[in-house]
A = this chain, B = another copy of it.
Amino acid sequence: MRERTNGQGDKRRLLLDAAVRVFARKGYHSARVGDIAEEAGVAYGLLYHYFASKEEVLRSVFRETWRALIQTIKSVEEGDEPPPEQLRKVAEILLRSWRRDPDLVRVLVLEVTRSGHLAGEMDEIVASFAAIQEIVERGQADGSIRTDLDARLASYVFYGAIDELLTGWVLGRLPDSDDDVARAERTVVEIVTGGLAPEHAGTPA
């Protein structure tokens, strides 16, 4: 597939992948445009053929990888499973991305999600929250999730928990073997969906 249209968007992909590695290694601010080009094996002037600026590279990294993630989350959301199971799947997708592509997660967690430069303008993040929120709302509608809590805030709690775990791995504060990741997934889901369970709502009379 990468070989089908040779000589077209080829270098763009090369640059984007190189950027992820470089951003992961040095951080966005310390990374120079020249570093990215060098990592990609092209002249740095070429970067400006494909991107308007260094920031746009970061934005593209984000958008084009996050897009896939949202897609996955959306497809979970649109599935038939009960909302609690959907939340579990979303947690699984997000948390397992750490082992699948640590560089990317590092960049996303450290440079994008809260970074201030981009965070403000990133509709995609908002969309993620929205997707989760919708799962929660569906759960509230079908009775699988308690209705006395704000769905939006709940989505923040859920997403925040996941984000913090990813950060823990990124910063090396938390062990991250396959087992650890599985345990983390279970923990988030247990805590969050457990707490959202309707039978717990008003604490029995």
Contact = CB atoms under 8 A, between A and B. Distances in A.
A191 B196 contact: yes
Number of identical monomers bound together in the oligomeric complex: 4
B153 A184 contact: yes
Contacts of A190: 148-149, 195
A27 B187 contact: no
A163 B113 CA distance: 12
**Interface SS of chain A:** helix
A180 to B, nearest CB: 9
Interface centre among A27, A167, A186, A194, by most chain B C-beta atoms within 10 angstroms, is A194
Given A161-B160, A164-B160, A167-B114, A174 B195 contact: no
A192 B157 contact: yes
23 contacts: A27-B117, A29-B29, A109-B114, A110-B115, A113-B114, A119-B171, A120-B171, A150-B183, A152-B174, A153-B174, A153-B184, A156-B161, A156-B164, A156-B165, A157-B187, A157-B192, A158-B161, A163-B164, A192-B192, A192-B195, A194-B195, A194-B197, A197-B200
